[in-house]
Amino acid sequence: MIGVSLPFSELVSGRDLGSDRFLDDLFEQGVRNIELRPVPAEQDAQSVFVAATRVWRHGMQISVHTSPRSVTTAVCDVFAPLKEILKAQKQEKMILVLHPVSGTILFDDNRRMMETLAGVIDRDQNGAMLALENNRLMPDHSDGDSADFVMRVIEEAKPQYAGICFDFGHFAWATKSWEHPILPPERFSNRVIHTHIHALYATETGYTTHFPLQSGALPLEEYISAIRPNYRGVYQLELEPNRYEKLMDGRRGIFGSIEKLAAVL
């Protein structure tokens, strides 16, 4: 299943990339999942419900990029904005993507956060699943590939409630291996339940991320092959049109990326 991340604010307003016309066009192109990105921790639940309902009305499922700020606020930050859509629950499973949080003891804090959030899902049986995402940097913003960190945290999480969001672009950027791919270890690949897919683009100061697949570098086929044996989730494009607006229109970037991704799948 191909999915596309869209700006949450535009899905609420129904304008630009969140318009009904654009959602219809995405459906016609084979897209079946829209990720609301990002849903702020302080967002009111009714606005989230409006955005989700717009997607559901167009025949697609949703996933949500949440915004936990700390271990102590994570439950409220993640679930308060989503209480209406989790109550309505118009799909069997809903992936909630989250970044690791900074803390005094990074591993212990993130393990505790995942345990606490999973406990809420277990209690409420709301159909949600947590997908902890590998980032370009460590949770404390220091240099380093966070894929190993995410893997170790998730290995201690219950698989029925939590797994990994494999961000292809972040992994390629962190490992500097887009031309001669370094693949994630099998322990990582086996716990992947969601993906974020975007290309790297060369600038004067180095490579940046979240560019369309047709205009950047990414070992797309290699990464998909690494997870394909056990993966049953969404192949989610996560582009940021404001980053590539000098190259092409936001819609053109999305449609071109859908075509490239579909050709590999």
pLDDT at 178 over 80: no
Query: What pLDDT score does 248 carry?
Result: 95
* 237 and 257 Cβ atoms separated by less than 8 Å: yes
Residue 264 φ/ψ, nearest 5 degrees: -80, -40
DSSP code at position 248: S
Share above pLDDT 70 across residues of the chain, in percent, rounded to a whole number? 100
DSSP code at position 244: S
Q: Which residues pair with 48 in a beta bridge?
A: none
Global pTM value: 0.96
Q: Which residues of 97-131 are buried (b: 16+ CB within 10 A; e: fewer)?
A: bbbbbbbeebeebbbbbbbebbebbeeeebebbbb
d(CA 211, CA 190): 27
Name the helix (H) or strand (E) containing 5: strand 2-7
Name the helix (H) or strand (E) containing 13: helix 8-13
Query: What pLDDT score does 7 carry?
Result: 96
d(CA 150, CA 135): 9
Query: What pLDDT score does 243 carry?
Result: 93
Name the burial class of residue 82, with classes exposed (0-12), middle (13-18) and buried (19+) by CB atoms within 10 angstroms of its CB.
buried
Confidence grade of residue 219 (pLDDT, cut at 50, 70, 90): very high
Query: What pLDDT score does 202 carry?
Result: 86
pLDDT digits (tens, 9 = 90+) for 155-177: 999 999 999 999 999 999 998 87
Name the helix (H) or strand (E) containing 236: strand 235-237
Work out whether strand 235-237 and strand 31-37 pair parallel, antiparallel, or are unpaired: unpaired
Confidence grade of residue 206 (pLDDT, cut at 50, 70, 90): confident
Query: What pLDDT score does 140 carry?
Result: 83
pLDDT at 109 over 80: yes
Region 212-225 average pLDDT: 96
Query: What pLDDT score does 176 carry?
Result: 86
Confidence grade of residue 136 (pLDDT, cut at 50, 70, 90): confident
Write the DSSP assignment of 180-219 as a string of letters. SPPPPPHHHHTTEEEEEB-EEEEETTEEEEEE-TTSSB--
pLDDT at 143 over 80: no
Name the burial class of residue 183, with classes exposed (0-12), middle (13-18) and buried (19+) by CB atoms within 10 angstroms of its CB.
middle
